[in-house]
Amino acid sequence: MANVVVVGAQWGDEGKGKIVDWLSERADVIARFQGGHNAGHTLVIDGTVYKLHALPSGVVRGGKLSVIGNGVVLDPWHLVEEIATVRAQGVEITPETLMIAENTPLILPIHGELDRAREAQNAVARIGTTGRGIGPAYEDKVGRRSVRVADLADDATLQTRVDRALVHHDALRRGLGLEPVDRDGLLDRLRAVAPQILEFAGPVWKVMTDARRAGRRILFEGAQGALLDIDFGTYPFVTSSNVIAGQAATGVGVGPTSIDFVLGIVKAYTTRVGEGPFPTELLDADGQRLGERGHEFGTTTGRKRRCGWFDAVLVRQTCATSGVSGIALTKLDVLDGFDELKICVGYDLDGDRIDTLPIAADRQARVTPIYETMPGWHASTEGARSWADLPAEAIKYVRRIEELIQCPVALLSTSPERDDTILVTDPFAD
């Protein structure tokens, strides 16, 4: 059976939650492979709204195994609260339906405190983090001072891990004017939450390997978007993990040959939350209209998203770096009623035309978009479930996007409802 990776191909908020839910009905295993609870997925199922942050989107589908992989950084207290919230909505979550990799690093309260303190004191250039501790937790992971899920099972190991982390963190906190960490208080909190996390812990790499050998369909779920990738995003205004599709393999402990199809989620326009470059950003009535019609507020933070025209240059780049097989184009219905639409087809940099976003931040800041204008449409695309339901101008817009990004449309989403989807290419087809 084919195994599918789902990645955001812009700055996140592309509508991955709905697409993952739509695909998860046909998958056997749904695995989160990176990020933390700074990312949010909103699912609308039979009128019920589920807002997930740490849990894989597959948890709302019965009979599936949802996996949190080692590429994720996990806030255990947040996870316990999120499980309780979803259970209250009638969703069953048990060790048979949810597994957490034993080698998953934990986000501790000290990570959030450090994150917020740094952002508050950064007068040079704010990154625009959510302040949830994701970045500092990844720093501790590569610095070899993380507390990991498996450490919760042995108190002596847990104390050693915490002490190692505090040597580093207390020194940082002194420099930021923060009080030293309450070691005993932190350990008590970890001991208290340990049983609620350890009941879900297991060897994810082995379970994933066994599932693949048994021919079970695996859906790898990414968070955020490729333009926030630590290596290929708009650095330093990025997240602290690799977001592109290659991370799916290392983020759960399988080889790259386990991936058969990469589905890039792409919004029919462009949005971004937080700081950083945004060549096609609109600060006029059109931008306001996109935000209002698209309900562009972050699932996790509630922050208003910046809105702009579709940037084909950026999406072409992310399709290349993630090896995207096909895209799921979402929120086409938000464009209903515009007299004309613009697509960025290149950039002007100091009088020269370029067809990629520069890596250097100073050059990124100087690019201006080169637009191609297309006619809009006044008929509604909302709820369309076949090409025949779409206005001719909408079809032309979609086809032009395919040409410019050099990647075909596999799915087309026309509303938040999961069934309002046009299937062009089945990602799970053998």
pLDDT digits (tens, 9 = 90+) for 269-292: 999 988 899 999 999 999 999 999
More confident of the two residues 60 and 351: 351
Q: What is the pLDDT of residues 381-403, one digit of tens each?
A: 999 999 999 999 999 999 999 99
Determine the pLDDT at residue 200.
98
Determine the pLDDT at residue 63.
85
Is pLDDT at 302 greater than 80 in this prediction?
no
Whether 135 and 115 have beta carbons less than 8 Å apart is answered as: yes
Question: Annotated catalytic, 420?
Answer: no
Is pLDDT at 24 greater than 90 in this prediction?
no
Give CA–CA dist 190/158, Å, rounded: 9
Q: The tokens 């309002």 sit on which residue?
A: 420
Catalytically annotated residue among 13, 21, 229, 333: 13
- pLDDT class of 84 with cuts at 50, 70, 90: very high
Catalytically annotated residue among 21, 28, 37, 41: 41
Give CA–CA dist 99/203, Å, rounded: 9
Determine the pLDDT at residue 299.
58
Residues 218-241 have a mean pLDDT of 94
Position 228, amino acid: L
Please provide the average confidence, as pLDDT, over all residues in the chain.
93
Helices of type H across 1-98: 16-24, 76-88
Q: The tokens 């990570």 sit on which residue?
A: 111
Q: What is the pLDDT of residues 187-220, one digit of tens each?
A: 999 999 999 999 999 999 999 999 999 999 999 9
- pLDDT class of 1 with cuts at 50, 70, 90: low
Percent of the chain with pLDDT over 70: 96
Determine the pLDDT at residue 203.
98
β-strand pairing of 326-330 with 352-354: unpaired
- pLDDT class of 126 with cuts at 50, 70, 90: low
Residues 216-240 have a mean pLDDT of 94
Question: Annotated catalytic, 140?
Answer: no
- CA pseudo-torsion sign 10, 252, 20, 79: negative
Question: What is the Cβ-side half-sphere exposure of residue 202, based on CA atoms within 13 angstroms?
Answer: 16
What kind and span of H or E run contains 413? strand 409-413
DSSP bridge partners of 409: 327
Whether 9 and 315 have beta carbons less than 8 Å apart is answered as: yes
Determine the pLDDT at residue 60.
86
Closest alpha carbon to 338 in 393, 276, 409: 393
Q: How many CB atoms lie within 10 A of CB 160?
A: 13
Q: How many CB atoms lie within 10 A of CB 182?
A: 13
Is pLDDT at 127 greater than 80 in this prediction?
no
Determine the pLDDT at residue 300.
58
Residues 163-187 have a mean pLDDT of 96
Cα-Cα-Cα-Cα torsion 242, 244, 249, 253, nearest 10 degrees, comes to 20
Whether 213 and 154 have beta carbons less than 8 Å apart is answered as: no
Give CA–CA dist 139/136, Å, rounded: 5
Question: What is the Cβ-side half-sphere exposure of residue 23, based on CA atoms within 13 angstroms?
Answer: 35
Determine the pLDDT at residue 298.
65
Is pLDDT at 248 greater than 60 in this prediction?
yes
Closest alpha carbon to 3 in 209, 227, 228: 209
pTM of the model: 0.92
Residues 53-61 have a mean pLDDT of 87
Is pLDDT at 88 greater than 60 in this prediction?
yes
Closest alpha carbon to 40 in 92, 80, 78: 78
Determine the pLDDT at residue 223.
87
β-strand pairing of 98-101 with 201-202: parallel
Is pLDDT at 51 greater than 80 in this prediction?
yes
Determine the pLDDT at residue 122.
66
- pLDDT class of 355 with cuts at 50, 70, 90: very high
More confident of the two residues 43 and 263: 263
Tokens of 233: 């995003």
